[in-house]
Amino acid sequence: MKNSQNSASVESYKHTLQLGDEIAKWWPHQLNLKILSQNQPSLKPTERDYSYAKAFESVDYEALKKDLAKLMTHSVEWWPADYGHYGPFFIRMAWHSAGTYRSSDGRGGASTGNQRFAPLNSWPDNVNLDKARRLLWPLKKAYGDKISWADLMILAGNVAMESMGFKTLGFGGGREDIWESEEDIYWGPESKWLDDERHSKDKKLQNPLAAVQMGLIYVNPEGPNGEPNVLDAANDIRESFRRMGMDDEDTIALIAGGHTFGKSHGAAKADENVGPEPEAAPIEEQGFGWKNSYKSGKGAHTISSGLEGAWTPTPTKWDNSFLEILFKYEWNLEKSPAGAWQWAPINPDNSDLTPDAHISGKKHKTIMFTTDLALRMDPEFEKISRKFLNDPKLFAQAFAKAWFKLTHRDMGPKSRYLGPEVPKEDFLWQDPINKVTYRLVNNKDITELKEQIAKANLKRADLIYVAYSSASTFRNSDKRGGANGARIRLAPQNEWEVNEPQRTNKVLATLTSIQNNFNDNCDDGTYISLADMIVLGGVVALQDAVDDAGYDVCVPFEAGRNDATQEQTDVASFSLLEPLADGFRNYMNKECNIPAEQLLLDKAQLLTLSVPQMSVLVAGMRVLGANYNETSLGVFTNRVGVLSNDFFVNLLDMSVNWRLVDEKAQIFEAKEIGSNTTKWQASRVDLIFGSNSQLRAQAEFYAQDDKQEQFVQDFVNVWNKLMQLDRFDL
């Protein structure tokens, strides 16, 4: 008898492949709720009580750095080191790990070790960095869970620089590894490597992207789309680096400092000799990609970027030679052996030739990329470059600061940094907040303050709205924002449309008055910040809403926040945190044409919410009346201000019909069947909980008669989570 299992086809097992179930193919516009459940505990092989911070404390940090330093000059046969030193290779690995960060949404960066996974492990710009990580594997194996891949890659870059004579600013550990590819990061619309579909006709780069082509970290070194136009390259550099949180001085320092070390590789044409990237490579390659069939395929025959050569005569030493060479010579446009555009100096001195990376005694002309020449040819870039040329000490300081910023930009406040090499200096990009040095309020004080807030004649919805507005700026992508610091009272947040300045200022003025009165009358060093007062105001309002619902559920509060100053707040940087839309407040910028439900999901992911938490938070905010501009959209209840599950109950009411009422497909209204009377109005965010099958399942669960108390408890829990997202001290 024929075994039925043997008759199964490859098609039968498509469910084991990405998109194998074809749901995305059939319904490409269905919300991807999986972005709210990434990196689940079930994926992590570590023990349940494993704490990376505790594990990192136990690592022999100095021994690890010494082992890394030894690794730099221990060349192996399967991937020999240029000049006998892996330092430049590890710098590139660390740079490319950190360089994916973009300040618009805080995503990318080095803090998760995401270079190990698709798509980053297979980007053209990351060609051959799979070998760099394999070179690190023996140390990762030896030190185990005491050091994450994410930390190890950045520390390797630091040690590489130090081993070549550069003094870094320091290192902060604390990056924790993910265990799967990130689904929440939009890397661009292109389906082919190095395509450029992200620029509009006026050459404006699409938000939130920072790199100029698919598969690049920053810009194309040959020039825009491979064309060797120096001034256009300068424009790309400026735009790309600014979107990664760097000013012109940071940018020049990073490019000049990074290209002080190492060389590029383009021994032959890639399309004739190089195999597929790691994610497409055959199984026997064991995670390696870009198999090179040109001669030995390694060492002198390596093919990476396609450009070939070193920038300086001293590629394994920190000095000022990159800038000296750049300004000393005129440059001819040439092509590398791989056919890539690069520049060579005209009549270079013998002392300025660079040694061959593998053959002793052999020398070559140095090279420059089109993007390197931009540092000299762009008028504004040239001023900074010459300043660094004439002051090597200033250049070294600028590079140290820019490198530290590049590699730590997505880690959040300095309080999260681990290890003995954390710099004492505070930087504005770290969003500093002074440490709490006063005595925190006790339970008696909190009770007294709650009573004063309750008597202050502030609307319940307004207290909820302001507390939410303060806390909801948090984004887990780079650990920025949140209630700590009370920056809602400072520029730029005090002018954001979504924060309703007039409504917010009224609440803040009253809370400040109560705060000042309390602090002025305490003579034992007890103090409460406005940041804590804002959260406490939300607690008072929410507790009243719970009590009115008739449930014995306590809304928790934990003091310990402090207030930031305007001087501690980078206005331009914080402006990027202003939301296009906020579905939890039913806010939508009039110029935004992205479906509101997609922006809700994006924000929920940045707030680390699960699907149930997102659902409950929306429903609770509606019945509490905490809508932008106090609209009635989604307020499916006749008892506004009471924490109930009415939003879900009435959304699922089968006695009404919904219809679209505006041209932009944003507003809907419900009429009872057989009646012309409008019962409810709703936004797309509200109706998605009845339309999307997965979200409807959540709505049906919480609408059940026996889930009213659970809804209240779950809302209180997610509210408390929201208020504490930036409490890294807890």
Instruction: Show which residues are catalytic.
Output: 96
Kindly compute the dihedral angle of the four CA atoms of residues 613, 615, 617, 618, in this order, to the nearest 10 degrees.
Answer: 160
174-196 in b/e form (b: 16+ CB < 10 A) is: bbbbbbebbebbebbeeeeeeeb
116-137 in b/e form (b: 16+ CB < 10 A) is: bbbbbbbbbbbbbbbbbbebbe
132, 115 Cβ separation under 8 angstroms: no
In terms of Cβ atoms closer than 10 Å to its own Cβ (0-12, 13-18, 19+), residue 5 is: exposed
**633 phi and psi, to 5 degrees?**
-60, 125
Enumerate residues 6+ apart whose C-beta is below 8 A from 74: 86
Question: Beta partners for 680?
Answer: 670
Three-class SS of 474-518: CECCCCECCCCECHHHCCCHHHCHHHCHHHHHHHHHHHHHHHHHH
Element counts in the chain: helices (H) and strands (E)? 24, 11
Is the N-terminal amide bond of 337 cis, ω within 30° of 0? no
Continuous H helices in 329-426:
370-377, 379-390, 392-408
Nearest to 145 by CA among 57, 62, 61, 55: 55
**659 phi and psi, to 5 degrees?**
-145, 150
DSSP 288-323: ----B-STTSSGGG-BSSS--EESSS-TTS-SSHHH
557, 536 Cβ separation under 8 angstroms: yes
- CA–CA distance, 670 with 686 (Å, rounded to integer): 12
165, 400 Cβ separation under 8 angstroms: no
- What Å distances lie between residue 603 and 139, 237, 597, CA to CA? 38, 29, 10
Query: Coil, strand or helix: which one is 682?
Result: strand
205, 212 Cβ separation under 8 angstroms: yes
Query: Coil, strand or helix: which one is 678?
Result: strand
Tokens of 495: 């002018």
**168 phi and psi, to 5 degrees?**
-80, 165
Looking up tokens 């390797």 gives: 156
Kindly compute the dihedral angle of the four CA atoms of residues 142, 88, 250, 220, in this order, to the nearest 10 degrees.
Answer: -110
- CA–CA distance, 340 with 102 (Å, rounded to integer): 28
Tokens of 694: 């997965």
CA 267 to chain centre: 35
Tokens of 548: 């009115």
Enumerate residues 6+ apart whose C-beta is below 8 A from 138: 71
Kindly compute the dihedral angle of the four CA atoms of residues 209, 213, 219, 220, in this order, to the nearest 10 degrees.
Answer: 180
245, 394 Cβ separation under 8 angstroms: no
Nearest to 681 by CA among 649, 634, 645: 634
